[in-house]
Amino acid sequence: MYELTDLPPPVDWPSVIASLSQIVGLEHVLSDAADLDRYSADALTPYRAYYADAAFDRLADVIARPGDTEQVSRIVALAQQRGIPVIPYGGGTGVMGGILPVAGGIILDLGRLNRLLHVDAVSQTAEVEAGMILQDLYDALEPYGLMPGHDPYSVPIASVAGTISTNGVGYRAAAYGPMGDQVVALEVVLPDGRIIKTRGVPKQSSGPNLNHLFIGAEGAFGIITKATVRVFRRPEAASFATMEFAEFEDGFAAVSEMAALGIRPTLLDLTEDSEGVLLHLLFEGYREGVDAALERTLAVCDDAGGWNVGPEPTLVYWRHRHDSALNYRKTALGRPRAEKWQRQWGRTFDYLHMSLPADRVLEYRRRADELLEARKIRVVEYCLWSRPEFFSMMVVPDGDRRVEGRDGYDADVRTNLAAGVDEVLTLAQDMGGIMEYCHGVGIKLHHLLARELGVNRDALLSIKRALDPAGIMNPGKLAL
Ligand SMILES: Cc1cc2nc3c(=O)[nH]c(=O)nc-3n(C[C@H](O)[C@H](O)[C@H](O)COP(=O)(O)OP(=O)(O)OC[C@H]3O[C@@H](n4cnc5c(N)ncnc54)[C@H](O)[C@@H]3O)c2cc1C
């Protein structure tokens, strides 16, 4: 079961709401039941929250929509003074329940901080406000002939700071790395309201780089208000290729060899499903580089027993890469929780994203298969996304059927799925890996994080207590 954190002391909400209204303006403070409901869940449904579904019992007490860093700072200082939890909210598209207000409090919607502030084509950086949606950033950079390096399925709906705070992975990660790698500098409001800024240079040797305290931190150490991110020249050449393999192991050998040679495609996705084993590749950049990388890759894949099925399957895949997010925007984003959760009915599956040392991935797959088979859980897709260490599985419980009711699930099927998921995630930990490379921990994986961190958690706890002694920043997250 998910342990709710200690309940905060009684709060004089009318007076807090009056103070918030003074800071951000009356129209940017929301406290209607309908608003509290729709803001108090992201894309995680109770079905897939497994052991943490009690976390959905609590709603936010109020929503505040600040318009600048100063307002964020004043709200956080107010919250600190009154001992009220503050939960930063970007696009609200997380799939782990990172924005769930498990102890109530103020949800801080950063959506009004949505401007591109500065583009530096020479340094190849852009300074952006935290709440800017990635698609808007792509669009705003287009006139400069530039683009960001992070391209997840959720480009149309996820925010810059939300993707930094989950250290998300996208379709261009094989070349550019995850969102955390895009961060050059940050402006952050600390839990006591102080504003810190790191410097806009790509590397430092003058002490530890504080950016890393906030990348993948799910808002537990402070609120990102601005980010300077890497941007890239729009490629002059692009070549798609699709390779087919008889076995996943053959594709894995090709991907490992490419990594060892230093071939960096933009897109690398080795997927096995009912259609077979396909390696989707895209090379982008300057013409000669693209041609050379493609030519050598075809030879590597040929050596590994693969054959070229032409660019078309990958072109189609590329064209449709944001469809799920466009559909999410149309049917779920900003809707009441009950409507969001209805989408899950009859679609009981889970999508797991483990990272392991590359030399253990194939052994991990075999052992995970055995565990899942014993529970009659089928794997309908295996995938390596962007690098050999990033291994994903889509799992579906046998006996899956729709049941009417609050969450629309069969309790036994769900209990079995939850146990199977925990078994394979802890197997990844026990084999020297981690349970999630992409979406964060949120409430869903909270119960397994202390196990993964071990004594490292003590170091994180010390930092948390020093920066946030009252524990107001997104409480109940990151096992802190
Ligand atoms: C259809 C769909 C497709 C998806 N595809 C992908 C994918 O391809 N790759 C991927 O990585 N993820 C994907 N996701 C998950 C989700 O889009 C990502 O986790 C994304 O990074 C979250 O961004 P957000 O702005 O919605 O963050 P939110 O959900 O609002 O927040 C995520 C976490 O970050 C914290 N946070 C938000 N803003 C700030 C801030 N300013 N300062 C500090 N902390 C903050 C929140 O408190 C929370 O803990 C997908 C989700 C959906 C619904």
Q: Which atom of ligand 1 is nearest to the CA of 442?
A: 49
Q: How, if at all, do strands 125-129 and 116-120 pair?
A: antiparallel
Q: Pocket of ligand 1, candidates 109, 150, 159, 165: which has the most ligand atoms within 8 Å of its Cβ, to mutate?
A: 165
Residue 253: partners with Cβ closer than 8 Å, 6 or more residues away: 304
Q: What is the pLDDT of residue 346?
A: 58
Which amino acid does the sequence have at 188? V
Q: Which atom of ligand 1 is nearest to the CA of 439?
A: 19
166 lines ligand 1 (CB under 6 A): yes
Distance 178 CA to ligand 1 centre (A): 13
91 lines ligand 1 (CB under 6 A): yes
Q: Give, using CA atoms, the residue closest to atom 9 of ligand 1.
A: 152
Distance 162 CA to ligand 1 centre (A): 5
Tell me the pLDDT tens digit for each residue of 328-371.
Answer: 999 999 999 999 988 765 567 899 999 999 999 999 999 999 99
Tens of pLDDT along the chain (480 residues) come to 556 555 566 899 999 999 999 999 999 999 999 999 999 999 999 888 999 989 999 999 999 999 999 999 999 999 999 999 999 999 999 999 999 999 999 999 999 999 999 999 999 999 999 999 999 999 999 999 999 999 999 999 999 999 999 999 999 999 999 999 999 999 999 999 999 999 999 889 999 999 999 999 999 999 999 999 999 999 999 999 999 999 999 999 999 999 999 999 999 999 999 999 999 999 999 999 999 999 999 999 999 999 999 999 999 999 999 999 999 999 999 999 999 988 765 567 899 999 999 999 999 999 999 999 999 999 999 999 999 999 999 999 886 555 554 456 677 888 899 999 999 999 999 999 999 999 999 999 999 999 999 999 999 999 999 999 999 999 999 999
Residue 18: partners with Cβ closer than 8 Å, 6 or more residues away: none
Distance 475 CA to ligand 1 centre (A): 17
Q: Give, using CA atoms, the residue closest to atom 41 of ligand 1.
A: 224
Q: What is the pLDDT of residue 437?
A: 98
136 lines ligand 1 (CB under 6 A): no
The burial class, CB within 10 Å (0-12 / 13-18 / 19+), for 412 is exposed
211 lines ligand 1 (CB under 6 A): no
CATH fold of 237-310, please? Alpha-Beta Plaits (3.30.70)
161 lines ligand 1 (CB under 6 A): yes
Task: Scan for tokens 């109020």, then name that residue.
Answer: 62
pTM above threshold 0.85: yes
The burial class, CB within 10 Å (0-12 / 13-18 / 19+), for 94 is buried
The kind and range of the H/E element at 254 are: helix 248-261
223 lines ligand 1 (CB under 6 A): yes
Distance 301 CA to ligand 1 centre (A): 34
Q: Which atom of ligand 1 is nearest to the CA of 131?
A: 41
Q: How, if at all, do strands 106-109 and 86-89 pair?
A: parallel
The residue ranges of every structural domain in the chain are 114-233, 237-310, 345-444
Distance 158 CA to ligand 1 centre (A): 6
DSSP 111-157: GG---EEEEETTTTEEEEETT-BHHHHHHHHGGGTEEES---TTTTT
Q: Which atom of ligand 1 is nearest to the CA of 98?
A: 49
Alpha carbon distance 293, 284 (integer Å): 10
Under a CB-based contact definition with an 8 Å cutoff, are residues 133 and 157 in contact? yes
What are 213's two structure tokens? 């305290």
153 lines ligand 1 (CB under 6 A): yes
Q: Which atom of ligand 1 is nearest to the CA of 332?
A: 53
Q: Give, using CA atoms, the residue closest to atom 21 of ligand 1.
A: 163
Tell me the pLDDT tens digit for each residue of 47-70.
Answer: 889 999 899 999 999 999 999 999
Alpha carbon distance 46, 441 (integer Å): 15
Distance 382 CA to ligand 1 centre (A): 23
Kindly give the interhelix angle for 456-467 and 446-453, rounded to the nearest 10 degrees.
110
20 lines ligand 1 (CB under 6 A): no
Distance 10 CA to ligand 1 centre (A): 31
Alpha carbon distance 349, 47 (integer Å): 10
The number of beta carbons lying within 10 Å of the beta carbon of residue 31 is 16
3-state secondary structure of 477: coil
324 lines ligand 1 (CB under 6 A): yes
Q: How far from chain centre, in Å, is Cα 28?
A: 27
Q: Pocket of ligand 1, candidates 166, 190, 317: which has the most ligand atoms within 8 Å of its Cβ, to mutate?
A: 166
Q: Give, using CA atoms, the residue closest to atom 10 of ligand 1.
A: 168
Q: What distances in angstroms separate CA 345 from CA 59, 130, 330, 340, one per listed residue?
A: 22, 33, 17, 10
What are 253's two structure tokens? 């050998």
Q: What is the CATH number of domain 345-444?
A: 3.30.70.2740
The backbone region for 368, taken as left when phi is positive above 0, alpha when psi lies in -120 to 50, beta otherwise, is alpha
What are 402's two structure tokens? 């729709």
Distance 201 CA to ligand 1 centre (A): 25
36 lines ligand 1 (CB under 6 A): no
Q: Quick one: CA dihedral 50, 53, 54, 60, positive or negative?
A: positive
Q: Which residues of 105-139 are buried (b: 16+ CB within 10 A; e: fewer)?
A: bbbbbbbbbbebeebeeeebbbbbbbbbbbbbbbe
The number of beta carbons lying within 10 Å of the beta carbon of residue 327 is 13
Q: How, if at all, do strands 86-89 and 116-120 pair?
A: unpaired
Residue 159: partners with Cβ closer than 8 Å, 6 or more residues away: 90, 91, 110, 111, 130, 131, 132, 133, 134
Q: Comparing 237-310 with 345-444, is the CATH topology the same?
A: yes
162 lines ligand 1 (CB under 6 A): yes
Q: What is the pLDDT of residue 5?
A: 56
Distance 94 CA to ligand 1 centre (A): 4
3-state secondary structure of 294: helix
Q: How, if at all, do strands 62-64 and 106-109 pair?
A: parallel
Q: What is the pLDDT of residue 414?
A: 85
CA distance from start to end of the chain:
16
CATH fold of 114-233, please? 3.30.465
Q: What distances in angstroms separate CA 194 from CA 72, 311, 369, one per listed residue?
A: 10, 51, 49
Q: Give, using CA atoms, the residue closest to atom 37 of ligand 1.
A: 162
